[in-house]
């Protein structure tokens, strides 16, 4: 077991924890529409060709390209028009030498035909088509399988399934998809907590708001959350709750009980589980108390009890852990470059997450740092619409400096 007395830099903490994760969530076969936002657990292979047959890519006439050899403006070649091919009613005979068939975009090419002469490039006269120049094979033809070939992988394992993926999968007839069913247990620790649904909290008690933040982020991330309730500050009770959750779920997330200054009930409880890895606290501000452990290849993430700090812990630990477990890569985040309206001062050797309000003025973007005095400063969550991450090797940014921010909502 590796323990850390001092705060671990974020990158190191992530490396240590991710390296120790071996657990893989179970897969489930779900109906296509239910796979939205989940992660494919297997490569998905098309069993059909798209298009399923050679078809016209333009309105015109299906011809045999060899028939058009030698055609010219002065010496057009005449082809007899013998029928019509529409998407709903294809021409079913074989096209013989010297014949042409009128064809609509998307209609199957008749057997024997291998090119389409667009309306604009030929003239119909007395039941015959006058062709003025030779056309190459497959001219204006969408070839069978040119879009997707049977046997081709259309979606890779680990891919997060997007709306347009559903379109492709439906088109190739995929009705069910194997996806990872990721389950998380959420345990709120803290004798001071009361649930939102209960009566207004008496003095000394606080509403368990972090539960709602973490549940919602997990849900948006495609994870099924099982809320296990509030557990008091009691090492033995916390131990039993985490142990039970560890047996049943892919990831165990606790909130609270890891603040600096508070007795470390949660850390002590997790220690009894003999973790391969235990990171106690990270060099983050806010978010210092966020901790993580790995027991038998499975992750336990101990988040701060404060909403703002818990979000940092989610980004640092929960997100990369889940992505690793399902073999996925991180989705891109919206960013913007904005000019700082005030100096931001942050401690060295710590990664700082500063909420800012980004607004547009005179065609430029500005970022106004929001005053915070602690990790519990709630209003920055609704007043801020972006996040400035100050790396460990900097002590902040100057007023007027252009910085890159992560946008969390529309620019003001």
Evaluated on CA atoms 376, 381, 384, 389, the torsion sign reads positive
Which residues have CB under 8 Å from 254's CB, separation 6+? Answer: 186, 187, 188, 189, 238, 242, 266, 300, 301, 302, 303
Residue 374: is it exposed, middle or buried by C-beta count within 10 angstroms (0-12/13-18/19+)? exposed
Smallest separation, CB 134 to a copy of itself (Å): 21
Give the Cβ contact number of residue 403 at 10 Å.
20
Say if residue 234 is exposed, middle or buried (CB neighbours under 10 Å; 0-12, 13-18, 19+): middle
Phi and psi, residue 321, nearest 5° = -65, -45
Sign of CA dihedral 237, 239, 240, 242: positive
CB of 217 to a copy of itself, least distance (A): 4
> Looking at beta carbons only, is 10 or 155 nearer to a copy of itself?
155
Within positions 334 to 373, which residues make up the interface with a copy of itself, using CB under 8 A?
334-336, 373
**Which position among 78, 207, 237, 339 is part of the footprint of a copy of itself (CB under 8 A)?**
207
- Closest separation in Å from C-beta 167 to a copy of itself: 4
The Cβ-side half-sphere exposure at 327, using a 13 Å CA radius, reads 15
Closest to a copy of itself by CB, 75 or 200: 200
Closer residue to a copy of itself in complex, CB, 49/67: 49
Query: How many residues form the binding site for a copy of itself (CB under 8 A)?
Result: 83
Q: Are 392 and 9 in contact (CB under 8 A)?
A: yes
Q: Which is nearer to a copy of itself, 3 or 33 (CB)?
A: 33
Q: Per rule CB under 8 A, is residue 59 in the interface with a copy of itself?
A: yes
Where does this chain touch a copy of itself (CB under 8 A) — which range of 71-79, 164-172, 278-286, 296-304?
164-172
Binding of residue 411 to a copy of itself (CB under 8 A): yes
Q: Which among 52-60, 128-136, 343-351, 359-367 is the span making contact with a copy of itself, rule CB under 8 A? A: 52-60
Residue 377 touching a copy of itself (CB under 8 A): yes
1, 22, 87, 345: which one contacts a copy of itself (CB under 8 A)? 87
Q: Does 389 sit near a copy of itself (CB under 8 A)?
A: no
Nearer to a copy of itself, 277 or 325 (CB): 325
Q: What is the CA radius of gyration of the chain?
A: 31
Residues between 272 and 331 with contacts to a copy of itself, criterion CB under 8 A: 307-308, 311, 328-331
Q: Of the candidates 6, 164, 362, 363, which one interacts with a copy of itself according to CB under 8 A? A: 164
Residues 94 to 113 in contact with a copy of itself, rule: CB under 8 A = 104-106, 108
Question: CB of residue 374 vs a copy of itself: minimum separation in angstroms?
Answer: 6
Handedness of CA 267, 268, 269, 275 (dihedral sign): positive
Biggest alpha carbon distance in the chain? Answer: 99
Q: Residue 106: which region, alpha, beta or left (left: phi > 0; alpha: psi -120 to 50)?
A: left
16 or 301: whose CB is closer to a copy of itself?
301
């Amino acid at each position: 077991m590796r323990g850390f007395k001092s705060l671990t830099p974020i990158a190191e903490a992530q490396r240590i924890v991710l390296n120790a994760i071996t657990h893989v969530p179970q897969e489930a076969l779900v109906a296509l529409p239910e796979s939205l936002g989940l992660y494919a657990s297997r490569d998905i292979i098309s069993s059909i060709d798209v298009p399923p047959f050679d078809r016209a890519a333009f309105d015109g006439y299906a011809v045999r390209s060899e028939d058009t050899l030698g055609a010219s403006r002065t010496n057009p070649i005449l082809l007899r028009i013998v029928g019509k091919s529409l998407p709903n009613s294809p021409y079913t005979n074989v096209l013989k030498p010297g014949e042409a068939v009128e064809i609509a975009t998307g209609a199957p090419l008749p057997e024997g035909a291998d090119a389409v002469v667009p309306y604009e490039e030929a003239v119909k006269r007395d039941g015959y088509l006058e062709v003025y120049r030779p056309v190459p094979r497959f001219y204006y033809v969408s070839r069978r399988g040119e879009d997707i070939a049977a046997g081709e992988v259309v979606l890779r394992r680990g891919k997060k399934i997007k709306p347009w993926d559903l379109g492709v999968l439906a088109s190739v007839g995929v009705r069910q998809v194997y996806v990872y069913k990721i389950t998380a247990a959420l345990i709120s620790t803290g004798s001071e907590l009361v649930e939102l649904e209960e009566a207004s909290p008496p003095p000394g008690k606080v509403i368990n708001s972090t539960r709602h933040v973490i549940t919602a982020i997990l849900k948006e991330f495609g994870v099924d959350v099982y809320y296990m309730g509030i557990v008091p500050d009691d090492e033995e009770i916390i131990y039993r709750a985490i142990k039970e959750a560890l047996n049943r779920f892919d990831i165990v997330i606790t909130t609270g009980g890891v603040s600096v200054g508070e007795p470390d009930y949660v850390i002590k409880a997790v220690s009894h589980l003999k973790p391969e890895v235990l990171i106690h606290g990270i060099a983050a501000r806010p978010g210092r108390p966020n901790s993580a452990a790995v027991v038998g290849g499975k992750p336990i993430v101990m988040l701060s009890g404060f909403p703002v700090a818990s979000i940092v812990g989610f980004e640092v630990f929960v997100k990369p852990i889940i992505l690793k477990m399902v073999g996925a890569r991180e989705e891109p985040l919206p960013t913007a470059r904005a000019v700082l309206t005030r100096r931001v001062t942050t401690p060295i050797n710590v990664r700082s997450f500063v909420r800012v309000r980004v607004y547009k003025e005179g065609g430029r973007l500005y970022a106004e740092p929001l005053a915070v005095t602690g990790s519990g400063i709630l209003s920055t969550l609704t007043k801020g619409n972006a996040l400035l991450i100050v790396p460990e090797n900097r002590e902040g940014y100057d007023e007027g400096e252009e910085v890159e921010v992560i946008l969390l909502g529309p620019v003001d």
